[in-house]
Structure 1
């Protein structure tokens, strides 16, 4: 354990259990039974089932650190934050915090809808321990940050969700908190307000304020926080740097998606003498789930979804390859290299030079409707750009480009293939990572995507600058010119 003086939040063996009753009468029966059995010293019977919203959670957040909490809906994120803020009492374990806590949890929590915005500012400030004089001194700053104009004098029941979060955030950050807790609320704000909020969060962190941040936006979590905790079904399944934890989160989502499609297969596949799990090729599908003739590829191959449902192929779980991979494994990224304009391997470029990225992959089953894509991230892990063959296919469909449609190509089981991506380097000096992915797209518009193989750290390159002949500042070259 770290020194107590340096720890803002300490959570030990934390758990929250709810008693679930089938109806109100049973709850009353339990209360009466508890009282009667307690009077005679006996253990009462249980007429309820237990639901552990959170169990066996433990971590520490040092002073001044930005710490993220991520997970799917229902994973226990909000319960954890409510336990830390004292809104809920734990069933087991303990929470220790040091300093004043400002929390932006459920939208509008702590506000009286009949009071005006001004009255709610004073009400919340006093609940947070400020005197009226202290609120008076901070009021102009709160009003300026919220920027809701004359609505400040109107009942907040007339506010939009965006106005509500503006006022709530403005109050919380102006009370000089030692710990700031934010649970998804900023998602309803407009882009300009979010920019101001994150700038304020960064300044608070620089001033030594501890940030506990929950969001479904993975890039925001990666940018705002240094470490993160991944929750799933009430338990901690990963904790580490935000990049590592987000990788585990993406892998978890992919596994859940695979289980979902497997459950659909179990409910719909009719097996004639063969267990779908034994890899046999004679599994028959009922007519209701067989593809129409129009849905078959030109060569008559069965679409990948039906091959997978039939259990007719053996594939690799991409998450077992290494800790940078995840996906169902029906196709694998084999190599990613960066090339210069002449086609030679190169890992150093200058702004204005052509960059060519080659992605080699293998189909492990008969495939169609694929998308080969990449993402470029900078040294800080921020997504700089993402693009794929499907993006170009969509341009072709819209009549903006004349090119073959990659989405319509078919790949045979065991086939090796590759795709090239080219661009003129607009990037500022720095170190960049390439992530590569192969996905199956049920529709040619990103609306029905299944990741077959996603690979982080697939390749790296650097951008240098000629300080004397071609110089600019910042992350991107806007190709600016001047006239006079």
Structure 2
């Protein structure tokens, strides 16, 4: 292996035997190969790449793609089925929360034990213990059994040990996700410091921005195979493209399920006698959305959201946007009885469940009545039983890279606005769209595109 190459992975594969029942393991052993009682699961297949000294390489991929298995093979905690791994230099790895810690030992005892495992003498660890204590910042708990630690305290101490011994190769696998924001900031600063001093970094994270900022090269794993390698920005672009393709397929299947469910609800509604008009009942205008495991829709069903479609500026169906694009959401509804004072709206949430934006025809009606906008007041419209109508909601996307869910609703509003409201139909997961940026031409960090601009103030002429 070249002196510049510190990690070489060649044709690496790892196969697990999956047994449906516990006693099948014994039967397999007794059969001596005459019969097979297991199924093969290949966590990795023919993975090859090299990492040079001082490089920072990200490992990305969806859950189950083989990232953690690859790191364990590199560290030597797993043996490969085929292929080889060569490493040069002391490896410090943070693979699992508290791995290598004895829960009965105090934090200090675990620090010295980890140092011994990594080949450091007692004197060398004594020289580093103050730095480790300061970085971990867990106070007097350093002398308490580690079984009393919270997950955050455990990862603080584990990470402090690994980075303060100044390893030649540092491997981090998603462990920082449990740390608080300030501790994560300090960890990233320390990793940058180690990189500048020549430490080689292998970094696994689902946070694409962290991979982009911290690494200069990346390996994209998909179903245990190397899908793409190269510059981190280019690999992340390929990763997002694959995510979009898979999400589009999943969204198509979800839309089919929603259509089937809506058809069933319409059939049930048609079989019921039409109820007489009743007084509107109060309800919260911004009630929390139902969980994804709950019913996908609810309401009095006197009017119904039939479909929700997403289009681009050209009027073509679209589910993938750039932040600068114009999007159009069309909500098609049907009145099941004579109705007026309606509000058709939507809510946009990101995949983490955070509400990004909610808006409806009533918001525009209020602006028109206040003289801040022009147009017809939708709230004044009346609809006959059986009447089908559609509402178009247009906007500049202006969102950061993510997967977004559209929730749609149709309500009957009281007098004055928001005094009373009756939920006629709420549809959860009505539609989805994704947003991505091209890091070569237009990129920003965060949730919302604030369209900032820059200019030079003063300076030499």
Q: TM-score, normalised by structure 1?
A: 0.64
Deviations 1:45-78 (A, max 9, x none): 2221101112121211111111111222222111
Equivalent pair of 1:369/1:441 in contact (CA under 8 Å): no
Return the match for 1:441 from 406, 419, 430: 406
Q: Distance in 1 between matches of 2:77 and 2:403?
A: 44
- CA gap of 1:141–1:288, structure 2 versus 1, over 3 A, is farther
1:147 CA drift (Å)? 1.3
Equivalent pair of 2:346/2:359 in contact (CA under 8 Å): no
- CA gap of 1:364–1:57, structure 2 versus 1, over 3 A, is farther
Q: Distance in 2 between matches of 1:209 and 1:240?
A: 20
Cross-structure match for 1:171: 161
Gaps of 5+ in 1: 35-42, 271-282, 309-314, 317-327, 337-358, 374-388, 422-433, 470-484
Q: Distance in 1 between matches of 2:323 and 2:92?
A: 48
Does 2:77 match 1:112?
no
* Structure-to-structure mapping, 1:391-470, within 5 angstroms: 391=357, 393=359, 419=396, 441-442=406-407, 451-452=432-433, 454-457=435-438, 459=442, 463-468=454-459
Cross-structure match for 2:318: 330
Does 2:250 match 1:250?
no
Q: Distance in 1 between matches of 2:113 and 2:177?
A: 25
Aligned partner of residue 111 in structure 1, secondary structure: coil
CA RMSD of aligned residues (A): 4.3
Equivalent pair of 1:333/1:437 in contact (CA under 8 Å): no
Q: Distance in 2 between matches of 1:112 and 1:420?
A: 51
Q: Distance in 2 between matches of 1:334 and 1:113?
A: 49
Q: Distance in 1 between matches of 2:167 and 2:332?
A: 57
Cross-structure match for 2:126: 136
Does 2:70 match 1:80?
yes
- CA gap of 1:139–1:441, structure 2 versus 1, over 3 A, is same
- CA gap of 1:288–1:46, structure 2 versus 1, over 3 A, is farther
Aligned partner of residue 37 in structure 2, secondary structure: coil
1:193 CA drift (Å)? 1.3
Query: After alignment, is 361-370 or 14-23 more displaced?
Result: 361-370
Cross-structure match for 1:303: 307
Aligned partner of residue 442 in structure 1, secondary structure: strand
* Structure-to-structure mapping, 1:217-256, within 5 angstroms: 217-256=207-246
- CA gap of 1:99–1:303, structure 2 versus 1, over 3 A, is same
Q: TM-score, normalised by structure 2?
A: 0.67
- CA gap of 1:393–1:241, structure 2 versus 1, over 3 A, is farther
Aligned pair count reads: 367
Q: Distance in 2 between matches of 1:437 and 1:26?
A: 44
Deviations 1:446-481 (A, max 9, x none): x95965353523758963312249xxxxxxxxxxxx
1:234 CA drift (Å)? 1.9
Does 2:264 match 1:286?
yes
- CA gap of 1:143–1:420, structure 2 versus 1, over 3 A, is closer
Q: Distance in 2 between matches of 1:237 and 1:105?
A: 23
Q: Distance in 1 between matches of 2:99 and 2:70?
A: 16
Return the match for 1:32 from 30, 33, 38: 30
Cross-structure match for 2:273: none
Q: Distance in 1 between matches of 2:231 and 2:144?
A: 44
